[in-house]
Structure formats: C-alpha cells, structure tokens
Structure 1
C-alpha cells in the first residue's frame, strides 16, 4: 500500500511539473521576433522644433526589453549631451520601466499611429520637426552600438543631413502595446 501511495505521489508531482512547464511556456516563452511593418504619418514631435527628438516606445513587462535596456540608457545619456531631446510612449505608468525612461516626459502615441506594430521601438524627428525614422532599435532581440539601426540615423541628423525611413519591413523582437 505504501509503494502505491508513493507511486501516486510521484506521478502527481511529475504531472504538476509538466503542467507548470506547459503553463509557463504558454505565458512567457513566446516567439517575439516577428515580421513587422512600420509606417508612420508625419505628426508633430513631442517638443517644439529646434533639436533632434527621439521617442522611446516602450511596453513595461515585455520580454524584448532586456536586450535593449543597457543600450537605451547609454544611448540616451550620450545623445542628450549633444542636445537630443527624449520622450517616452507606450506604457503610461512608469512601473517596470528602466530608471532612464522614468525620467523622460510621457507622450501619448498619436491617433494617426493607431497601428503601431509594437515595442520596444523608436520614432525620431529631425531638428525641423520632420519625422525621420520609425522602427525598432535593431533587427534582433538585443541592441548595442554595433547593431543599432537608430544610432546612424541620429548621427546623420546631428550632422545636418536628411533621413527618411518612415516605412520599412523588418523582423524584430516586439511585444504588442497595451
């Protein structure tokens, strides 16, 4: 009788383990790298024209954030010293956001951008207030100075040259915006 009870307990324990793994995988282990189509109508930037402006579109709790957080902090600090203005969109609450984003002004995504494909992503305006770039930070789940799609855009705009990348097909790590 004792062996049967131990056997049933072991089978129950294994069943719970399998169910837990299945549940965890369904909730948190998803394929976030997916094809996305970015297209944005030119809207007024978060701040008055005069400087290059970057809008971080960020969704708190997104599994894709981890690969971008260190770069976001570094890039924001470096370019802010060069006069670039930064704002954030996406999660209205600052809960779960990196400290660097909590300090930024919140800007609601405009109604014209209702089909924004996901976060983390970015929108960049030139100093005249013209939308120059919309899209992901990089083509993968991680971003650094070497893999960044936006660093060359910001440097080009700071040099006074035009950029127009407001429509693009890409594959990126993105979470749906809430």
Structure 2
C-alpha cells in the first residue's frame, strides 16, 4: 500500500512539474524584442525621425493633432493578451482630451523620402501626438509577457505635459509580447 501511495505521489509530482515547465516554456517563447533587427533604433539616431514619422502619417490620416494612434495587426495574438491594457490606454487618452484612432498596420503605406522609410517593427504599438501633430511617444504599450496595465510605458506620456519636451521619446529596446513585422 505504501508503495502504491509513493508511486501516486511521484506521478502527480511529475505531472505538476511537466505542466509548470510547459507554462514557463510558453511564456518565454512568447517574449520577443520590439525592434528585433534594431532598424527602428538605427532610424531614431536621425534628428528628423519624429518629424518624418509625423509627416508621413499626417499625409495619410490628415489631422493627427492631439491623437493617440493604436497600431494593430490582424492575427497578432498579443493584441488579445494586451486587450485590457490597450482599453485602459484608450480611456486614459480620452480623459486627457486626446482622440483615439486604431490603425491596421497593413493599411499604412509609407512613402520613401530621401532613402528614409519610417518603420513600425512590431505590434501592438502606439504613437502619441500632441499639439500641431508633434510626436511625443512611439513604441510599445508596455514591456513584459503580459503587457498588462501595471507595467505600462506609454501612460506617463499621455497624462503628463510631454508636449513641452524638446523631442519625442522613442522606445525600441524592450522585450514583451509583440508580433514582429521585420
């Protein structure tokens, strides 16, 4: 009887360890770099990046003054993972008198200007534009696997007086649940 009980404990323990290992593996395999090839990082070394990025988007979307653009891509599983956080950012933007616009990343066509083509390396991504279409923030909503409300990056750029900053904050070097486009 004692041998059967020990065998049962061993089986349950192995089952539990197997489930735990599977969850850890799935979590780790879902975490990726926002800018895996550092293309965005290289582009942002240009002092004109924020101006070109804003100009390119304004050509297609007309008025982007005081607007938060939410970039999504159909079929990206991370949109579902981050849904609660994205919704809270929508509400925060609305409360701070920003317009919200959701943009399917596949519907945007950047026009090449002087060998310069702004990229959006991953989704979900977000861009915050202030007065006169000035880019305040571009990058991911947050970092980490769950992209949850508690580990957000963008909130401070929506709720503060970031319009007064001399340039845009571009976040490219972070890990989280992102669907890479490159």
* TM-score, normalization by structure 2: 0.60
Secondary structure in 2 matching 1:128: helix
Runs of 4+ in structure 1 over 4 Å off: none
**Residue 70 of structure 1: how far off its partner (Å):** 1.2
Match of 2:69 in 1: 55
Contact 1:138 1:149 in 2 (8 A): yes
For 1:11-90, what aligned pairs fall within 5 Å after superposition?
A: 31-35=29-33, 36=35, 37=38, 38=40, 39=43, 41=49, 42=51, 43-44=54-55, 45=58, 46-48=61-63, 51-90=65-104
**Paired position in structure 1 for 2:132:** 128
Structure with higher helix content: 2
CA distance in 2, matches of 1:160, 1:175: 29
**Aligned with 1:116 (options 110, 117, 120):** 120
Distance in 1 (CA, whole Å) between partners of 2:100 and 2:80 is: 20
Separation in 2 of the partners of 1:79 and 1:169? 24
Deviation at 1:152, TM superposition (A): 0.6
Deviations 1:85-123 (A, max 9, x none): 11122356xxxxxxxxxxxxxx72533555321101111
1:52/1:138 Cα in 2 relative to 1: closer, same or farther (>3 Å)?
same
Distance in 1 between residues matched to 2:105 and 2:180, nearest whole Å: 11
* Length, aligned pairs only: 135
Q: For residues 62 and 90 of structure 2, what CA distance do their matches in structure 1 show? A: 16
Asked if the contact 2:147/2:177 (under 8 Å) is kept, the reply is no
Once the two structures are TM-superposed, the CA of residue 150 in structure 1 deviates from its matched residue by: 0.3
Shift of 1:84: 0.5
Cα gap change, 1:153 to 1:78, in 2 (>3 Å)? closer
Structure 2: gaps of 5 or more residues: 1-25
RMSD between aligned alpha carbons?
3.0
Q: What is the CA deviation profile of residues 70-95 of structure 1, one whole-angstrom value per residue up to 9, with x for unaligned ones?
A: 12122212321331011122356xxx
Give the TM-score normalised by the residue count of structure 1.
0.61
Deviation at 1:176, TM superposition (A): 3.2
- The alpha-carbon deviation at position 30 of structure 1 amounts to 9.1
The CA deviation at 1:47 is: 4.8
